[in-house]
């Protein structure tokens, strides 16, 4: 790996990324950094990738007959390709007040991290000729951008993401219900949020989306301090989203707190597993490539399932 | 509650205990201050924190309370350990004894030198008791030793645990010829006890003495002897301090002791070539009759009398009188000694010899200040007085008293220190400077006589002489008045009952010319009751002669005249006796300070001229020593001593020699001991008495209080470990591994 590649990969580090202003540039650098580490670029051959042959049946489009095979075998075979261009992705991004939290040692707030991640995924999606949309929410769906593969779509989407968070709480169930109502076609939804809401309510919302046959990827974003409670000495915690105050010695609560966080995560992870929803927890101090590779892996798997259905179901 | 606890567990240092309890608040205060000093952070994952807090609150509070409790207990216990708590006697706790402080008061006064029938002295017996007591004490006990001979001395002040050192110091203590200072010794013991490092209740005072009957007997419980009064008060003090007082009786019965209890003269003034009576008092303090006792008197190197004394029954005294004349002025030494029969040996020979230092005066100079001098010797204000003081004056014969007459202006040129006394006779007024000189003169031991008269300025005398009670006059003068005749009777003189020593001899002679005298006029006086003493009154009750003390000297105020102006007394023969008595009162016998008791220091005031002369002290044993000079008023004083044993000491100042006599205290001669029951009765409280060696062997080692400092320190160490363990355990229990992030 040459020096240039190494430079690009630096942009996956939140510490470095935080120094770059402008979400648009940040997103591009993330994607460049991500792909610079791969042996071959998935952009070559996307949407033209051969999958399989099958016998011609009446009604098939004559444009898909493999004439080379007809020349050799004198039979009509239809070439099947992986269908990519009709992927609809909606990025559902949490804009509630809690997303604005940034601990003293953290490179960026959860909102900044989330926006960077969403913008990068959107950029990658547009590059792959897929349609991408955006849903911003707190207590309600505050903004909704229908999926589109138009080149301008990404710029609009980035502008939307760059907006500030509001003072409102998260009300996940209501938001997911609203989102389900808005999406007519089967859609891949990436939900990026700290998920500071009741786990059962959240899972109920997921269930609703899955009922409508939407695919769901959940990226649960945490500040590092929220995963470790590193404070020592008497501390007054001023709760965001109107959660009140608590004066305590964090050392005396750390174990119980971490148990609570672990329980919440475990509940979500198990619930998602049952509904075939990808659940991943992110630490805002960790590099972003795992999110992108996770997305791409999910996308590939989904396309394979779809093609399998195409082949299996005729 | 706290009071009950303090009663159950008192402290050696209660002040430190109070401070220790106060320091217990420190961890609480630190906790409260920390609660007010906190960091403030915004927090998003509040729901998890609140849930954790709900689950942890009770446990965290309990942990914090336990930690705080351990820290408070740690600090308080550490402070209390320093304050040294102890469990007093009769406690419910079955604890063993701890260390004690034993103070031995050892009598080494003269009476302890008396030999017992066993051949040893009482002091040797007492010392043996003390050694046995030392053996009986546990090695953990501290010991102090105080000697009773005057002045009482702490041989070992701070409690010493090293038994060898204590025994060495005990062995070094010697019997003395000094008197007993029981009060001083017990006061010293109380001071040692108060400074003691051991717990209250573990302090015992052992008084080892012969308890002479004369000192300790108290037949009348309401009127005890001074020693018993002191002892009762001190016993109360010791009891208040929870100190045990144990009496070790070292006295023995059945002793033969005859003593020379006094040697002196009653003459007020001893002059050259004047016959002087010397008295020697001999008392039989033994339990049997005293026979064949010879009194031997020496004057200088020459035996002047050797006489057989009459047989004396137990307690009987006799006085032998020897008349002497001294041809030279200065100090003369008289030595009296009792020689007893060899068949009846005296158990205390040290009280058989006494010395007397006698100052023989050639003249007693007196300065008479005449307010209105006359033409002849009997004219003026001082004529009669001068004749009365020096009856041979008219015939130019030598006389012991040498009056010199001056006028008021001439007084300024006289050195007052050259005179024994000054008489102001109808002097109108004195300069302020003269009043100050007179105050200094009288303050340093001189005498002042003030006579009334028509010239006296009453206001001046009251302003400068009385000076609102700070001056020489013992009262405020009023203007002279002629008394009204009482039923036609002339005003005369009368005596108070009992008569003052100056006029005591007149009380035996009612026909005396004093009482036939007539008074025409006098100065009424409003007396200062605190210092004025009426010697002689007029028949109307008004004071005629008033005596008072001022500093080291004396003042006599005559409210009538020294001559015949206001009274005809000066014409009477008794005027001579009266004036001689007055002179003796004002001129304290010179040389009294040279007769001291064994243990006291020699002190000889020096004139400024003498301070430059070579000085030397020669003891009775012939040893020479350099005396010390100490400040005395405006001059210096020679000092040497304390003197021991009884002896005559010669002090040389230039070419002059002065002899000092150091004698034993006669009260030490009565050797009859008081029995232990009477001692308890006298002290008015039950006293533990040890009278023989066998009971000393079983002297209880157990003490009343048990110190808990070591227990407290063990608890401190245990709490320290507990606190550290709890702090670590609680923290590690609460700090879990971080939740998963990615």
Higher pLDDT, B44 or B693: B44
- A73 shares a domain with A213: no
Best probe of the A interface among B52, B66, B728, by most A CBs < 10 A, is: B52
Residue A161 confidence class, pLDDT cut points 50, 70, 90? confident
- B303 shares a domain with B284: yes
Q: Is residue B727 part of a domain?
A: yes
CATH number assigned to the domain comprising residue B155: 3.40.50.410
Rounded to whole angstroms, how far apart are CA atoms B256 and B509?
44
Q: What mean pLDDT is predicted for residues B173-189?
A: 88
Higher pLDDT, B47 or B422: B422
Which of A4-8, A292-296, B132-136 comes out lowest in average pLDDT? A4-8
Orientation of helix B709-734 relative to helix B46-83, angle to 10°: 170
- A71 shares a domain with A178: no
Q: Which of residues 269-298 of A touch B (CB under 8 A)?
A: 280-283, 285-286, 290
- A130 shares a domain with A218: yes
- Give how far B722 is from chain A: nearest CA, Å: 19
Instruction: Count CB pairs under 8 A between chains A and B.
Output: 145
- Give how far B717 is from chain A: nearest CA, Å: 26
- A123 shares a domain with A96: yes
- B336 shares a domain with B454: no
Q: Is residue A19 part of a domain?
A: no
Q: Is A160 on the interface with B (CB under 8 A)?
A: no
Residue B702 confidence class, pLDDT cut points 50, 70, 90? very low
Whole domain around residue B618: which residue ranges?
Answer: 603-657
- B238 shares a domain with B152: yes
- For residue B370, pLDDT over 90 is answered with yes
The pLDDT assigned to A313 comes to 42
* CA nearest to B338, candidates B378, B392, B284: B284
Q: Is residue A135 part of a domain?
A: yes
Q: Is B48 on the interface with A (CB under 8 A)?
A: yes
Chain A residue numbers touching B64 (CB-CB < 8 A): 252
- B614 shares a domain with B568: no
- B109 shares a domain with B79: no
- A141 shares a domain with A63: no
- Give how far A233 is from chain B: nearest CA, Å: 7
Q: Is residue A25 part of a domain?
A: no
CATH number assigned to the domain comprising residue B348: 2.60.40.10
Average of per-residue pLDDT values in chain A? 77
Rounded to whole angstroms, how far apart are CA atoms B204 and B654?
54
Q: Is residue B594 part of a domain?
A: no
- Give how far B31 is from chain A: nearest CA, Å: 10
- B152 shares a domain with B64: no
Instruction: Give the tens place of pLDDT for each residue, B22-37.
Output: 888 888 888 888 777 8
For residue B174, give Cα distances in angstroms to B16, B122, B124, B607, B620: 41, 12, 9, 38, 20
Which of A27-36, B294-303, B355-364, B646-655 comes out lowest in average pLDDT? A27-36
Rounded to whole angstroms, how far apart are CA atoms A215 and A189?
6
- Give how far A41 is from chain B: nearest CA, Å: 25
Residue B694 confidence class, pLDDT cut points 50, 70, 90? low
Nearest CA in chain A to B733: A255
Which of A188-197, B1-10, B302-311, B427-436 comes out lowest in average pLDDT? B1-10
Rounded to whole angstroms, how far apart are CA atoms B234 and B56?
65
Q: Is residue B416 part of a domain?
A: yes
Give the Cα-Cα-Cα angle B469, B474, B475 (nearest 5 degrees). 75
Best probe of the A interface among B41, B42, B44, by most A CBs < 10 A, is: B44
- B626 shares a domain with B504: no
- A188 shares a domain with A72: no
Residue B230 confidence class, pLDDT cut points 50, 70, 90? confident
B433: exposed, middle or buried (Cβ count in 10 Å: 0-12, 13-18, 19+): exposed
ipTM value of the model?
0.77
- For residue B72, pLDDT over 80 is answered with yes
Chain A residue numbers touching B742 (CB-CB < 8 A): 280-283, 286, 290
Instruction: Give the tens place of pLDDT for each residue, B448-465.
Output: 999 999 999 999 999 999
Chain A residue numbers touching B43 (CB-CB < 8 A): 101, 237-240, 243
Instruction: Give the tens place of pLDDT for each residue, A209-256.
Output: 888 888 888 989 999 999 988 888 888 888 887 778 888 888 888 888
Q: What mean pLDDT is predicted for residues B328-338?
A: 92
- B58 shares a domain with B156: no
Q: Is residue B137 part of a domain?
A: yes
CATH number assigned to the domain comprising residue A153: 3.40.50.410
- For residue A45, pLDDT over 50 is answered with no
The pLDDT assigned to B559 comes to 95
Strand ranges (DSSP E) for A8-87? 50-55, 77-81
Number of domains chain B is built from: 5
Q: What percent of chain A has a predicted confidence (pLDDT) above 70? A: 73
Rounded to whole angstroms, how far apart are CA atoms B661 and B639?
14
- B494 shares a domain with B345: no
Which of B234-238, B353-357, B603-607 comes out lowest in average pLDDT? B234-238
Choosing from A58, A81, A104, the residue where a domain stops is A81
Q: Is residue B740 part of a domain?
A: no
- B107 shares a domain with B195: yes
Instruction: Give the tens place of pLDDT for each residue, B524-566.
Output: 999 998 889 999 999 999 999 999 999 888 999 999 999 999 9
Residue A17 confidence class, pLDDT cut points 50, 70, 90? low
Q: What mean pLDDT is predicted for residues B604-626?
A: 89
- A196 shares a domain with A256: yes
Residues pairing with B624 in the sheet: B618
* CA nearest to A26, candidates A38, A12, A36, A7: A12
Is A256 in contact with B38 (Cβ distance < 8 A)? Answer: no
- B570 shares a domain with B456: yes
Whole domain around residue A73: which residue ranges?
Answer: 50-81
Instruction: Give the tens place of pLDDT for each residue, B78-128.
Output: 888 887 777 665 555 545 556 788 899 999 999 999 988 888 899 998 998
Q: Is residue A301 part of a domain?
A: yes
- For residue A14, pLDDT over 80 is answered with no
Q: Is residue A72 part of a domain?
A: yes
| B374: three-class secondary structure by DSSP | coil
The pLDDT assigned to B508 comes to 84
Number of domains chain A is built from: 2
Instruction: Give the tens place of pLDDT for each residue, A106-152.
Output: 888 898 888 888 888 888 888 777 788 999 988 888 888 888 887 78
Best probe of the B interface among A12, A202, A254, by most B CBs < 10 A, is: A254
Q: How many CA atoms lie within 13 A of B7 on its CB side?
A: 5
- B489 shares a domain with B428: yes
- A216 shares a domain with A69: no
Q: Is A267 on the interface with B (CB under 8 A)?
A: no
Residue A84 confidence class, pLDDT cut points 50, 70, 90? very low
- A63 shares a domain with A125: no
Q: Residue B141 phi/psi, 5° resolution?
A: -85, 145
The pLDDT assigned to A42 comes to 41
- A179 shares a domain with A66: no
Choosing from B657, B680, B699, the residue where a domain stops is B657
- A158 shares a domain with A63: no
- Give how far B73 is from chain A: nearest CA, Å: 22
Q: Is residue B202 part of a domain?
A: yes
Residue B231 confidence class, pLDDT cut points 50, 70, 90? confident
* CA nearest to B552, candidates B632, B607, B606, B611: B632
Q: Is residue A292 part of a domain?
A: yes
Token digits for A222?
A: 């945490």
Q: Is residue B595 part of a domain?
A: no
- A206 shares a domain with A154: yes
CATH number assigned to the domain comprising residue B370: 3.40.50.880
Q: Is residue B93 part of a domain?
A: no
Is B734 in contact with A256 (Cβ distance < 8 A)? Answer: yes
* CA nearest to B126, candidates B57, B85, B92, B175: B175
Q: What percent of chain A has a predicted confidence (pLDDT) above 90? A: 10
Instruction: Give the tens place of pLDDT for each residue, B114-164.
Output: 988 888 899 998 998 899 888 888 888 889 999 999 899 999 988 888 999
Higher pLDDT, B420 or B91: B420
The pLDDT assigned to B728 comes to 80
- Shortest CB distance from A251 goes to which of B35, B731, B739? B731
Alpha helices in B657-741 (DSSP H): 676-683, 693-697, 709-734
């Amino acid at each position: 790996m040459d020096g240039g590649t190494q430079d690009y990969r630096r942009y996956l580090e939140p510490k470095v990324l935080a120094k770059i202003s402008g979400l648009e540039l940040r997103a591009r650098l993330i994607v460049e950094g991500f792909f610079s580490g791969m042996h071959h670029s998935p952009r070559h051959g996307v949407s033209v990738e051969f999958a399989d042959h099958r016998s011609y049946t009446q009604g098939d489009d004559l444009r898909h007959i493999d004439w080379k095979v007809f020349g050799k075998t004198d039979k009509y075979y239809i070439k099947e390709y992986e269908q990519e261009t009709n992927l609809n992705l909606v990025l559902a991004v949490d804009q509630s007040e809690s997303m604005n939290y940034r601990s003293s040692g953290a490179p960026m707030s959860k909102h900044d991290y989330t926006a960077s991640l969403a913008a990068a995924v959107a950029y990658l999606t547009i590059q792959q000729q897929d349609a991408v949309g955006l849903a911003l929410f707190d207590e309600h769906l505050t903004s909704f951008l229908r999926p589109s593969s138009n080149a301008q779509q990404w710029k609009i989407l980035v502008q939307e993401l760059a907006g500030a968070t509001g003072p409102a709480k998260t009300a996940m169930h209501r938001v997911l219900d609203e989102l389900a109502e808005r999406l007519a076609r089967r859609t891949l939804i990436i939900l990026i949020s700290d998920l500071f809401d009741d786990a059962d309510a959240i899972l109920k919302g997921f269930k609703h989306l899955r009922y409508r046959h939407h695919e769901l990827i959940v990226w649960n974003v945490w500040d590092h301090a929220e995963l470790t409670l590193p404070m020592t000495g008497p501390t007054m915690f001023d709760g965001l989203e109107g959660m009140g105050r608590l004066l305590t010695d964090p050392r005396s609560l750390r174990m119980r707190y971490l148990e609570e966080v672990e329980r919440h995560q475990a509940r979500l992870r198990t619930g998602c597993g049952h509904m075939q929803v990808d659940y991943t927890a992110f630490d805002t101090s960790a590099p972003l490539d795992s999110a992108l590779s996770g997305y791409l892996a999910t996308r590939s798997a989904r396309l394979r399932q779809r093609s399998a259905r195409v082949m299996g179901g005729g | 509650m706290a009071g009950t606890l303090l009663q159950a567990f008192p402290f050696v240092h209660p002040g430190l205990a109070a401070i220790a309890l106060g320091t217990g608040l420190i961890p609480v205060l630190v906790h409260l201050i920390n609660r007010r000093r906190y960091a403030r952070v915004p927090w998003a994952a509040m729901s998890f924190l609140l849930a954790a807090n709900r689950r942890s609150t009770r446990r965290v509070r309990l942990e914090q309370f336990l930690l705080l409790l351990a820290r408070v207990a740690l600090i308080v216990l550490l402070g209390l350990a320093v304050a040294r708590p102890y469990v007093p006697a009769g406690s419910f706790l079955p604890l063993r004894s701890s260390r004690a402080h034993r103070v031995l008061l050892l009598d080494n006064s003269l009476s302890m030198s008396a030999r017992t029938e066993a051949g040893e002295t009482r002091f040797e017996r007492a010392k043996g008791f003390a050694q046995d007591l030392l053996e009986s004490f546990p090695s953990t006990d501290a010991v102090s030793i105080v000697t009773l001979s005057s002045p009482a001395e702490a041989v070992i002040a701070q409690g010493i645990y090293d038994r060898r050192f204590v025994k060495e110091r005990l062995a070094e203590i010697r019997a003395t010829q000094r008197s007993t200072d029981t009060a001083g010794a017990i006061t010293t013991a109380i001071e040692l006890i108060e400074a003691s490092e051991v717990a209250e209740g573990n302090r015992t005072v052992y008084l080892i003495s012969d308890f002479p009957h004369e000192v300790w007997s108290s037949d009348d419980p309401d009127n005890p002897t001074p020693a018993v009064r002191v002892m009762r008060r001190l016993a109360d003090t010791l009891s208040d301090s929870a100190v045990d007082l144990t009496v070790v009786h070292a006295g023995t019965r059945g002793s033969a002791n005859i003593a020379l209890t006094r040697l002196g003269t009653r003459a007020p003034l001893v002059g050259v070539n004047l016959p002087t009576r010397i008295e020697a008092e001999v008392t039989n303090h033994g339990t049997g009759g005293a026979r064949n006792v010879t009194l031997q008197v020496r004057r200088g190197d020459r035996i002047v009398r050797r006489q057989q004394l009459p047989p004396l029954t137990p307690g009987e005294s006799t006085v032998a009188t020897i008349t002497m004349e001294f041809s030279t002025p200065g100090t003369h030494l008289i030595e009296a000694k009792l020689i007893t029969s060899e068949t009846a040996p005296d158990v205390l020979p040290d009280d058989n010899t006494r010395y007397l230092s006698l100052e023989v005066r050639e003249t007693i100079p007196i300065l008479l200040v005449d307010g209105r001098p006359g033409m002849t010797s009997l004219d003026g204000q001082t004529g009669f007085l001068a004749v009365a003081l020096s009856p041979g004056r008219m015939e130019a014969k030598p006389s012991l008293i040498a009056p010199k007459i001056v006028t008021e202006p001439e007084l300024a040129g006289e050195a007052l220190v050259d005179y024994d006394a000054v008489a102001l006779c109808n002097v109108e007024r004195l300069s302020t400077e003269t009043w100050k000189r007179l105050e200094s003169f009288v303050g340093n031991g001189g005498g002042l006589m003030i006579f009334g008269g028509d010239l006296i300025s009453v206001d001046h005398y009251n302003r400068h002489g009385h000076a609102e009670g700070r001056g020489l006059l013992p009262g405020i003068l009023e203007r002279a008045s002629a008394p009204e005749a009482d039923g036609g009777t002339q005003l005369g003189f009368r005596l108070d009952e009992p008569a003052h020593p100056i006029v005591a001899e007149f009380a035996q002679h009612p026909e005396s010319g004093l009482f036939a005298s007539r008074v025409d006029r006098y100065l009424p006086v409003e007396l200062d009751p605190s210092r004025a003493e009426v010697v002689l009154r007029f028949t109307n009750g008004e004071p005629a002669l008033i005596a008072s003390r001022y500093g080291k000297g004396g003042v006599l105020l005559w409210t009538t005249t020294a001559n015949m102006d206001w009274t005809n007394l000066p014409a009477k023969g008794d005027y001579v006796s009266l004036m001689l008595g007055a002179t003796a009162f004002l001129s304290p016998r010179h040389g009294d300070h040279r007769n001291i008791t064994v243990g006291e220091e020699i002190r000889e005031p020096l004139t400024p001229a003498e301070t430059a002369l070579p000085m030397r002290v020669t003891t009775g044993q012939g040893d020479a020593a350099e005396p010390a000079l100490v400040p005395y008023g405006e001059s210096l004083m020679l000092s040497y001593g304390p003197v021991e044993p009884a002896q005559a000491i010669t002090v040389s100042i230039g070419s002059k020699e002065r002899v000092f006599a150091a004698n034993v205290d006669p009260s030490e001669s009565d050797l009859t001991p008081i029995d232990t029951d009477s001692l308890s009765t006298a002290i008015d409280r039950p006293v533990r008495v040890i009278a023989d060696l066998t009971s000393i062997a079983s002297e209880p080692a157990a003490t009343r209080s048990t110190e808990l400092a070591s227990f407290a320190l063990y608890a401190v160490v245990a709490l320290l470990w507990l606190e550290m363990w709890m702090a670590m355990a609680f923290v590690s229990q609460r700090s879990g591994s971080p939740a998963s992030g990615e």
